[in-house]
Amino acid sequence: MATIDVKKTGLTDDQADIIRQTLPVVGANIGDITPNFYRRMFTAHPELLANTFNRGNQKQGAQQKALAASVATFAATLVDPDAPAPEELLARIGHKHLATGIVEEQYPIVHKHLFDAIEEVLTPEVFQGAVRDAWDAVYLEMQRVLVDFEKQLYDESGVAPGDVFRAAEVVSREDLSDDIVVFGVRGKAEELPGFTPGQYISVRQTMADGAGQLRQYSLVGVPGDGVLKFAVRRVGADEVAGLPAGEVSNKLCDDVRVGDEIEISLPAGDLVLDTESDGPVVLVSAGIGATPMVGMLNYLAANGSQRRVLSVHADRSEAADVLAAERTAAVEALANGTEKRWLEPDFMDLSDKGGVELPEGAEFYICGGNGFLQHVRDQLAERGVDRSRIHFELFSPNDWLLDA
């Protein structure tokens, strides 16, 4: 099992003092630093925008902040002796890097352009000499931790760093609605690897301009039969919010049929079911966030689990909840499974007043948007659920910043 190893002794006392003093100004300027950073990096390395970063996410300003803000978040925990190591943040980044084939040689590229951007925004008078050296030490410690963790993940997968994409043939396509399609794929040249319930894969599609764009999708099938199943939601453009249509998702829904070949990554992801436990489980989701929960439910049902399982889900409407039948079938196949659903205008209520009995000692797995997750976590905290028993996955690239 890959482990996170953060050394808080990596900074000198003087460097730690500098980070504490400058962290507020760096954090306050993330909104200006981020576009400067990406502009610099993509000008110097256009191949990263074409083949590694999701272009749709780059057009969404709030989501662009993820990388720079994660460095600032890491710095804050590094200089606070009472703060626990940000293991969830780092594990989530590491797994995303595994699913996109990030390698050690790419870290210096990010380092240079991010820090050049910080220096330009804060001015050289502020961000040079001892100040930049202190922040260099933060970044290099974060790089060391992530590279070591990712090498462990690659070793566990039995592949060389970066060698994560495989040719796969589409063996099934099920259109659940106009917006949701479930694909099943099998390896072309070799059997696809197994996975742990809750994990996801990256799918790479070649766009009209030749760019190889990536998007992650949760696995909804049962491990062990050589077929990986994942659900894709069509994403339309939102002109009011200035959000682009989903390139990869829409191409899959529009163009990919049974018999076609696609590229997928090895499974990755840290929101995974503890398959060794026999303790109770609560699966909490909203909208398309049901996909990893369906994967967990299908696994539990297929293995005749005796665990107490509670599935709770919120959605826009009956029609929008296209995975309801599969979710219910899995719950009904469980010896101790129950479920509850909320449809708008009602919202999920797990508070004391909501009438939902939460199994004592349960592990909670949550997937949905930021607002939904924060709403659910607040309710669980009010009911005395310890934070260590709450595990989550989100939709946006900056999902790891929720605890910042």
Question: Is 107 noted as a catalytic residue in this protein?
Answer: yes
Query: What is the C-alpha separation between 27 and 400, in angstroms, rounded?
Result: 16
Query: What is the C-alpha separation between 213 and 202, in angstroms, rounded?
Result: 10
Marked catalytic residue, from 119, 141, 150, 363: 150
Strands (E) located in 43-197: 165-175, 180-187
Marked catalytic residue, from 38, 107, 154, 217: 107
User: Radius of gyration over alpha carbons of the chain, in Å?
Assistant: 22
Question: Is 150 noted as a catalytic residue in this protein?
Answer: yes
Query: What single string gives the DSSP state of each residue in 101-142?
Result: T--GGGHHHHHHHHHHHHHHHH-TTTSSTHHHHHHHHHHHHH
Cβ count near 201 (within 10 Å): 26
Question: For the chain, what is the total number of helices (H) and then of strands (E)?
Answer: 13, 11
Q: What angle do CA 289, 291, 297 make, to 5 degrees?
A: 120
Q: Are strands 281-286 and 363-368 parallel, antiparallel or unpaired?
A: parallel
Q: Which positions are catalytic?
A: 107, 150
